[in-house]
Amino acid sequence: MKEFKRLTPYREALELLLNDLDEISEVEEVPLDEALGRVLAEDVVSPIDSPPFDRSAVDGYALRAEDTFQAREYSPVELRVIDEITAGGVSDATVEPGTAVKLMTGAKLPEGANAVLMQEMAEREGDLIKVLRPVAPGQNVAFAGEDVKSGEVILKKGQVLRPQDLALLKSVGFKKVKVKRKPRVGIIITGDELIEEFDEEALKAGKILESNSIMLRGLVKRYFGEPVFYGILPDDEDLIKEVVDRAKRESDLVLVTGGSAFGDRDFAHRFVSLLFHGTTIKPGRPIGYGERAFIMSGYPAAVFAQFHLYVKHALAKLVGARNYEIRLRATLTDRVSSQLGRYEFVKVWYENGRAKPIKKRGSGLISSLVQSNGYVVIPENSEGYLEGEEVEVILY
């Protein structure tokens, strides 16, 4: 089998890939309930202050803070309760010296009041309360615009929408939001050895249950795309060419697994004009890219690494996503080694600031993916990291 004449360094290949792609211009407006994980197409400006009025942060009594300055448990100050407000209600009363209004958390502060006394700090007897401790002006009050001010940019273009982002949008009155269209990602699986359904006799005869398609569909959905499955193809040169050409016409991005090396039955890379073919990454060295198509390995762990090192960044470029990775510092629990010239994808289990490398490192071992929740990269100029060394973990 032929070898690669040159392996493109990881960063060089990634730059070639990203420079080849343009951000999708199409925008969709979707209901908030359907916007989770979508990418904002424009900055969002709040149309209102939030909260829209000064409100109580606790259950208690709205009053003038200066009326409480002399209050002590051994010498309480008495105030007269002139009204009561529940959350969502308002009071027409004006808090004047010597008076207070009982109110619930979230209720609008009545006119004249500038602080709220927690109800635990008062003893009530009929229409009178005994204030046991002083409060400062503004204490226990959420002021208008304290969370968000009218005209403020509350979310920026490229934000990957999270549950808390949707809550913020709803809190200032949005029902829909403009997001980037999902890139259409064609997925093609190739290999004579692959079967879709469990067949004991076929497995004994050397067949393998195909698993890359379901993994890639899930990864594409997680990283902003809409997967379109073109099926499992045998190693038939004419058929693979036909389907790859069709997928390139119909998709924003194409993922083909199998056929990325130089074996006699490795056909997929022959039908794409490649910007690079063979990079320094491990696992997944034979990856190729060109014409918005990735020619990927057949082994699942290699495909997984190729997706995270290349494909997810391509999808992020297409939709203009920002901050789509969670990166953390962690201490390695064991030494991990590599070979100079490799850009190694090391699977780890991250927990409580510690990263435990997964010992299983074979390209076909799906269980190693299940046992991990993130990865560490070892660049080409390093031979690895020592036990106890601090590293950056990228979660998945």
Residues 213 and 296 in one domain: yes
Q: What residues make up the domain containing 165?
A: 27-50+160-180
Q: What is the DSSP string of 252-291?
A: SEEEEES--S-STT--GGGGS--SEE-BSEES-TT-EEET
**Which has the higher per-residue pLDDT, 360 or 301?**
301
Same domain, 176 and 187: no
**Among 2-16, 67-81, 230-244, 276-290, whose mean pLDDT is lowest?**
2-16
SS (H, E, C) the chain: CCCCCCCECHHHHHHHHHHCCCCCCCEEEEEHHHCCCCEECCCEECCCCECCCCEECCCEEEECHHHHCCCECCECEEEEEEEEECCCCCCCCECCCCEEEEECCCCECCECCCEEEEHHHEEEECCEEEECCCCCCCCCEECCCCCECCCCEEECCCEECCHHHHHHHHHCCCCEEEEECCCEEEEEEECCCEECCCCHHHHHCCCEECCHHHHHHHHHHHCCCEEEEEEEECCCHHHHHHHHHHHHHHCCEEEEECCCCCCCCCCHHHHCCCCEECECEECCCCCEEECCEEEECCCHHHHHHHHHHHHHHHHHHHHCCECCCCEEEEEECCCEECCCCCEEEEEEEEECCEEEECCCCCCCCHHHHHCCCEEEEECCCCCEECCCCEEEEEEC
pLDDT band of residue 265 (cuts 50, 70, 90) is low
- Whether residue 169 is found in the same domain as residue 234: no
Residue 296 included in any domain: yes
Q: Across all residues in the chain, what is the average pLDDT?
A: 95
Q: Is 119 domain-assigned?
A: yes
Q: State mean pLDDT over 105-126.
A: 97
Q: What is the mean pLDDT of residues 73-78?
A: 97
Determine, yes or no, domain membership for 5. Answer: no
User: What band does 319 get if pLDDT is binned at 50, 70 and 90?
Assistant: very high
Could you tell me the pLDDT band of residue 262, with boundaries at 50, 70 and 90? Answer: low
Domain count, the chain: 4
Q: Is residue 152 part of a domain?
A: no
Asked whether residue 256 carries a pLDDT value surpassing 90, the answer given is: yes
Question: Are residues 84 and 168 both part of a single domain?
Answer: no
Position 82, amino acid: I
Q: Is the pLDDT score of 263 beyond 80? A: no
Distance CA 19, CA 92 (A): 63
Residue 211 pLDDT > 50, yes or no?
A: yes
Q: For residue 219, is pLDDT > 90?
A: yes
Residue 348 sits in the same domain as residue 391: yes
pLDDT of residue 1: 42
Evaluate whether residue 149 is within a structural domain. Answer: no
If one compares 201 and 1, the residue with the highest pLDDT of the two is: 201
pLDDT at 5 over 60: yes
110 and 255 share a domain? Answer: no
Q: What is the pLDDT of residues 31-43, one digit of tens each?
A: 999 999 999 999 9
Which CATH number belongs to the domain containing residue 128 in this structure?
2.170.190.11
- The CATH number of whichever domain residue 271 belongs to comes to 3.40.980.10
Residues 250 and 364 in one domain: no
| Type of residue found at 267 | F
- Asked if the model's pLDDT at residue 2 lies above 80, the reply is no
Structural element, H or E, at residue 242? helix 237-250
Per-residue model confidence as pLDDT tens digits over 356-378: 999 987 787 999 999 999 999 99
Confidence category of residue 3, pLDDT binned at 50, 70, 90: low
Tell me, yes or no, whether 40 and 171 share the same domain.
yes
Do the domain assignments include residue 281? yes
Q: Are residues 333 and 391 in the same domain?
A: yes
State percent of the chain over pLDDT 90: 92
In DSSP terms, 63 is beta-bridged to: 115
Q: Does residue 360 lie in a domain region? A: yes
Q: Is residue 154 in a domain?
A: no
Predicted structure pTM score: 0.89
CATH number, residue 359: 2.40.340.10
The reply to whether 40 and 174 lie within a common domain is yes
